[in-house]
Amino acid sequence: MPCWHYYSAASPDHESALAIDASRIVFGPGVLDELGDHARSLGCRRVAVFTDRRLKALEHVARARKSLQNANIDAALFDAVHVEPTDASFLEAARFAKAARVDGFVSVGGGSVIDTAKAASLYSTYPADFLDYVNKPVGAAKPIPGALPPHVACPTTCGTGSETTGIAVCDVLALKAKTGIASARLRPSLALVDPTTTHTLPAEVIAASGFDVLCHALESYTARPFDRRSKPSSPTARPMSQGANPWSDLGSAEALRLTGKYLVRAVTDGRDLEAREKLAWAATLAGVAFGNAGVHLPHGMAYAVAGLVRDFRMPGYPQDEPMVPHGVSVVLNAPSVFRFTAEACPERHIEGAAMLGVDVRGATPTDAGEIVAAALIAAMRATRVPNGLGGVGYGAADVEALTKGTIVQQRLLSNAPRDVGEPELAALFSGAMSYW
C-alpha cells in the first residue's frame, strides 16, 4: 500500500497544494493509424513530422504519413533528428519548422525525436537566444511567452515518457553540459501511444527503455515530498517537478508493479508481446508520474555518464558513434543511489521493492537500501545490462569529472530525498562502478 504519511503538510512556510497537469493520452494497439483524425481535430492542416533516419525506414513513419494523408493534412518530413539532441540540432529542427510554415507538429520516435519536436515548436514560434529558455544555471529559464501549436507525440519505444512531459533535454555543445527546457507549455497536446510499435525493438533497446521507466517510477516515488518545498512566490510559480505527491504515487506504484512483472520477460523473450505492451503502458504511467513529480539522482548523474562517454557502444543501437543509451546511463547509478537515499525514507524504498515483486516480509528500515539495490541488480543481470559504470568504460579516475558534470543539475539534485554535494556525488559514482 502506498504510504500516505509521507506527506505531513508540516509548516505554514511549506507548500500545501499540488498541481495536476494531466496529459491527453490515447493508448491502444493500432492507434498510430488514428493520427490524421486527431491532428485534424486539433486544427492542423500542415504539420512538420519529426523522426530520425533509422526510424524513417520502419513502417511506423509510413503509417503516420498515410494517416495524415487520409485526413488531408500536408506533412513536411524532418528525418535528421540527432539521437541525444544538441542545441545545434534543436535549432536546425526549428529552422526547418519555420521554413516549412506549419501549423502543427508530429513526432514519431523515441525521446530524442519527441524532445526535438518540442524544441522546434518553441524556437520557431517564439524565437530567442537558445539559452533564454534553458534551465538555470546553464540558461536563463525565461517563461515561454504563450501557447504553442498542437503537437501529437507518437512514441515508438517504451521508455522516455517524453510524450507526457513538458521537458526537452539536450547537450549544449559549447559548454559540454547536458541540460534542458522545462515548461508545461512544452507538454504535447496529445500522446498517441501504440504499443504494437514495441514489437520489433531489439532486446537491448527494450532493456534500456524499460529501466528508464522503472527509474522514472522509483525516483518519482522516493522524491522529496511536495509539501517539504517552500511555498512558491505566486501560484503560477509552482514548479512542474513538485516532488513526490499523492497523484504521481498512483502512476509510479502501478508502473513499478508492471516493470517488476514484465521487464525481464520483455527483454529475454522477444515473442512475449504481452510483456512488451504492458511495458508500454508502464512507460505511459511513469511518464505521467515523473512529469508531475520529477526524477532525482539516478537521472541527474546520468547526464554526465552519457556526456563523458569515450568509446562504449551498445549492441542494438547505432554503432557510428560512442553512446550510452539514456536508460542504461540512468540505471547504472540506481543501486548506488538507492542504498544512499533509503536512510531518508526507508518505508518508501521498502514499498518500492515490494511493488517490484520483492518479498519484503520482515524487512527493517536499515535493510531498505540493500533490498532495492538487490532487486535492481538482479534485473540488470537478467537482462545483460553492463555491470555498473565500469561496464561502460569508466574507472576511479573519472569520478571527479563525473561529479563536476553532475553538480550543475540542481533541478534534479534538489528533488532527491537527501541533500547532496560534491563529496556525496563522488561516493555515489564510486559505489556505482561495479555491482557483481
Among 163, 171, 212, 219, binds Fe ion (CB under 5 A): 212
Of residues 339, 327, 368, the one with CA closest to residue 432? 339
Instruction: Kindly indicate which of the ranges 52-60, 207-215, 379-387, 412-420 contains the residues binding Fe ion, using the contact rule CB under 5 A.
Output: 207-215
Instruction: Kindly indicate which of the ranges 162-170, 206-214, 233-241, 257-265 contains the residues binding Fe ion, using the contact rule CB under 5 A.
Output: 206-214
Sorted by sequence, the CB contacts under 8 Å of residue 361 that are 6+ apart come out as none
- Residue 47 has phi, psi (to 5 degrees) of -120, 155
Instruction: Kindly indicate which of the ranges 85-93, 210-218, 278-286, 389-397 contains the residues binding Fe ion, using the contact rule CB under 5 A.
Output: 210-218
Instruction: Kindly indicate which of the ranges 79-87, 140-148, 211-219, 352-360 contains the residues binding Fe ion, using the contact rule CB under 5 A.
Output: 211-219
Would you say 148 or 169 has its CB closer to Fe ion? 169
Least distance to Fe ion, CB of residue 213, Å: 8
Least distance to Fe ion, CB of residue 162, Å: 8
Would you say 335 or 346 has its CB closer to Fe ion? 335
Instruction: Kindly indicate which of the ranges 119-127, 204-212, 233-241, 246-254 contains the residues binding Fe ion, using the contact rule CB under 5 A.
Output: 204-212
Least distance to Fe ion, CB of residue 84, Å: 12
Would you say 157 or 403 has its CB closer to Fe ion? 157
Least distance to Fe ion, CB of residue 218, Å: 11
- Measured CA to CA, the distance from residue 252 to residue 356 in angstroms comes to 11
Instruction: Kindly indicate which of the ranges 55-63, 170-178, 209-217, 246-254 contains the residues binding Fe ion, using the contact rule CB under 5 A.
Output: 209-217
Least distance to Fe ion, CB of residue 111, Å: 7
Would you say 194 or 212 has its CB closer to Fe ion? 212
Residues 299-328 contacting Fe ion, CB under 5 A: none
- Distance between start and end Cα atoms, the chain: 31
Least distance to Fe ion, CB of residue 299, Å: 6
Sorted by sequence, the CB contacts under 8 Å of residue 397 that are 6+ apart come out as none
CA-to-CA dists, residue 151 to 33, 143, 237, 285, angstroms? 16, 19, 24, 19
Residue 63's Cβ-side half-sphere holds a number of Cα atoms within 13 Å equal to: 19
Residues 351-390 contacting Fe ion, CB under 5 A: none
Output the residue with the shortest Cβ distance to Fe ion. Answer: 212
Would you say 35 or 255 has its CB closer to Fe ion? 255
- Measured CA to CA, the distance from residue 281 to residue 147 in angstroms comes to 28
Residue with cell 505566486: 234
Q: Which x/- pattern, by CB under 5 A, does the window 160-199 give for Fe ion?
A: ----------------------------------------
Sorted by sequence, the CB contacts under 8 Å of residue 263 that are 6+ apart come out as 207, 210, 211, 213, 214, 275, 279, 379, 383
- Measured CA to CA, the distance from residue 323 to residue 334 in angstroms comes to 19
Least distance to Fe ion, CB of residue 169, Å: 8
84 binds Fe ion (CB under 5 A): no
Length of the chain: 436
The residues with which 77 forms a beta bridge, in sequence order, are: 49
Would you say 328 or 350 has its CB closer to Fe ion? 328
Least distance to Fe ion, CB of residue 309, Å: 17
Would you say 75 or 167 has its CB closer to Fe ion? 167
**Residue 154 burial (C-beta neighbours within 10 Å; 0-12, 13-18, 19+):** buried
- Measured CA to CA, the distance from residue 388 to residue 276 in angstroms comes to 25
Least distance to Fe ion, CB of residue 361, Å: 31
Question: Cell numbers at residue 108, please?
Answer: 514519431
Determine the size of the site formed for Fe ion (CB under 5 A).
Answer: 1
- Measured CA to CA, the distance from residue 370 to residue 377 in angstroms comes to 10
Would you say 300 or 386 has its CB closer to Fe ion? 300
Are 348 and 2 a contacting pair, CB within 8 Å?
no
Would you say 159 or 346 has its CB closer to Fe ion? 159
Would you say 124 or 409 has its CB closer to Fe ion? 409
Are 275 and 204 a contacting pair, CB within 8 Å?
no
Residue with cell 503502458: 281
What is the DSSP annotation of 360-382? -TT--GGGHHHHHHHHHHHHHHH
Would you say 224 or 299 has its CB closer to Fe ion? 299
Amino acid at 174: A
* Residues at the site binding Fe ion, with contacts judged by CB under 5 A: 212
